[in-house]
Amino acid sequence: MTAEPVLIIGGRSDIGRAVAHRFAAAGHPIQLAARGAAGLAPDKADIELRHDVAVTLHELDVLAPESFDGFIDGLGDLPGVAICAVGVLGEQAVCERDHGAAALVMRSNYEGPAAILAALANRFEARGSGALVGISSVAGERGRAANYIYGSAKAGFTAFLSGLRNRLARKGVHVVTVLPGFVATRMTDGMDLPKRLTATPEAVATAVEAALRRRRDVVYVKPVWALVMMAIRTIPEGIFKGMRI
């Protein structure tokens, strides 16, 4: 990998921060994008001090597609890698009764991330190089009563990444789907997460870097999740609908 700029979409998230540090440590200039990007000034200073690379901040609302062309033009250098770590978990019980809350979860986990990666994909395709990384979720592999609003959006995002990968496979652009299981972040703070199935943001960053280096298409951050989800996918629907998992 050369030291091309790496764009982090969702630079305020714990995963976004960890990924930024990971690639900065490898010598990549970092482009941090988020809403209220000016508030990321302390992160910019920290990354620059720790890793001696250039960091730029870029205002981006992934739910405002009319701003995407201007955002990409404003990056200056088109990044070599773009990593989308945007997402919100939401509360299933609230989303079941509040259409606005459900729509925000669905838009934030599917519509927005897919739309900004689609805009970048066109630029990367025209250039004939680059890599796009989407942080999706194992929750998208089978709908569960406990989180099917969030999971359905992630399922859509996973399918989008798969199709985009097939479209760009012969255009010099690599697309990676990252499937974390549980991740210990501010978003999951207070949840009773099983340690064996729970990754750190730094582990997600390591998985992203390794997936790009090894040209992987789909990667589970903790390999045990591949086995867990294979088992869950094979449970007959008649049995699954009576389970509380």
**Residues classed as catalytic:** 150
* CA atoms of 49 and 160, how far apart (whole Å): 37
- Length of the chain, in residues: 245
* CA atoms of 26 and 206, how far apart (whole Å): 12
Q: Are 11 and 43 in contact (CB under 8 A)?
A: yes
Could you tell me the end-to-end alpha-carbon distance of the chain, in angstroms, rounded to an integer? Answer: 41
Q: At which residue do the structure tokens 């299933």 appear?
A: 92
* CA atoms of 21 and 16, how far apart (whole Å): 9
The token pair at 138 is 């194992």
The residues with which 177 forms a beta bridge, in sequence order, are 134, 218
The CA-based angle 214-58-209, given to 5 degrees, is: 10
* CA atoms of 131 and 47, how far apart (whole Å): 22
